[in-house]
């Protein structure tokens, strides 16, 4: 369970990026966070990934206030979170296989598991035929599927997807949403930010709407309103 309890983030006196944000995400939920540019979505995800500290309030994850942890403890928590970004963030000089193997090595997984799990996770995102290609040889949609495979390979409890379809055409956007739904059906919590009304409407799950750093709506089976 993730709890945001009155979380505020001021970058400076003029800029309140988050203003007393509170919500709870239960295990296995699929939550979309929407709102105009500058609403505070990315800041909110940064708080969750412990990339930056709130000015006030608590972000709890598995009953622990993650901003009170040491660097080493934060790394252990981060292993429970898989992240996917709009710009894919693949390593350009590594093949698809190596990009995913690298994430497993960083988590201390043994070679036998790497050899068996990488092909398996690529099948899950329907990309088994690109295992030896480099990122530059893939389409945007294929790159994002590799990024998702990398995010899920260490079996995180949560996937955070920050505008994962922002650079994709409608057909690839549809595929990515279907894969995220499948991952959620398999038991992983998904937190997604998006500007795309069609994405929200096709997911048909909880929608948190932000504006000026505040949560202005929280709909159980929402539609994109703004
Ligand atoms: P969104 O992801 O919804 O577009 P952000 O979380 O990126 O919104 O930004 C929220 C507000 O915080 C904006 O006004 C933005 O300019 C400001 N902001 C974000 N990051 C920083 C930063 N590192 N320093 C100063 N202001 C920032």
Structure tokens at 113: 């598991």
Q: Give the domain-ending residue among 155, 187, 213.
A: 155
Q: What is the pLDDT of residue 42?
A: 93
What local confidence, expressed as pLDDT, does residue 62 receive? Answer: 80
Structure confidence at residue 206 (pLDDT): 94
pLDDT digits (tens, 9 = 90+) for 25-81: 999 999 999 999 999 999 999 999 999 999 999 999 888 999 999 999 998 888 899
39 lines ligand 1 (CB under 6 A): yes
83 Rama sector, left if φ>0, alpha if ψ -120 to 50, beta otherwise: beta
162 and 72 in a single domain? The answer is: yes
pLDDT given at position 25: 97
pLDDT for residue 196: 87
Residue with the smallest CA separation from ligand 1 atom 22 is 11
Relative to the CA of 46, which ligand 1 atom is closest? Answer: 6
Which phi and psi (to 5°) does residue 165 adopt? -105, 10
> Domain range for residue 135?
87-155
The b-or-e profile of 102-121 (16+ CB within 10 A means b, else e) is ebbeebeeeeeebeebbeeb
| CATH code of the domain in which 42 resides | 3.40.50.300
Q: Which pLDDT score, from 0 to 100, does residue 121 have?
A: 97
Any idea of the CA torsion for 53, 199, 184, 90, to the nearest 10 degrees? -60
Q: How many distinct structural domains can be found in the chain?
A: 2
Report the separation in Å between the CA atom of 43 and the middle of ligand 1, taken as the mean of its atom positions: 6
Taking CA atoms, 205 is separated from 33, 69, 175, 181, 222, in Å, by 11, 32, 17, 10, 6
pLDDT, mean of residues 140-161: 97
């Amino acid at each position: 369970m993730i709890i945001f309890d009155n979380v505020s983030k001021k970058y400076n006196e003029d800029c309140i990026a988050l203003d007393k944000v509170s919500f709870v995400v239960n295990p296995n939920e699929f939550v979309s966070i929407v709102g105009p540019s500058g609403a505070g979505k990315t800041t909110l995800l940064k708080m969750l990934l412990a990339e930056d500290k709130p000015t006030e309030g608590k972000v709890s994850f598995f009953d622990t206030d993650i901003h009170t942890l040491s660097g080493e403890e934060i790394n252990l928590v981060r292993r429970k979170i898989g992240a996917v970004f709009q710009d894919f963030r693949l390593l350009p000089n590594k093949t698809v296989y190596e990009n995913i193997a690298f994430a497993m090595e960083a988590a201390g997984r043994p070679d036998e598991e790497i050899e068996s799990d990488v092909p398996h996770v690529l099948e899950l995102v329907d990309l088994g035929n690109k295992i030896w290609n480099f990122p530059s040889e893939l389409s945007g949609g294929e790159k994002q599927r590799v990024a998702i495979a990398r995010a899920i390979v260490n079996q995180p409890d949560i996937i955070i997807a920050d505008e994962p379809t922002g650079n994709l055409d409608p057909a690839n956007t549809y595929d990515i949403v279907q894969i995220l739904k499948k991952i959620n059906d398999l038991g992983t919590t998904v937190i997604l930010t998006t500007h795309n009304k069609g994405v929200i409407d096709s997911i048909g799950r909880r929608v948190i709407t932000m504006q000026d750093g505040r949560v202005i709506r929280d709909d159980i089976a929402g539609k994109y309103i703004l």
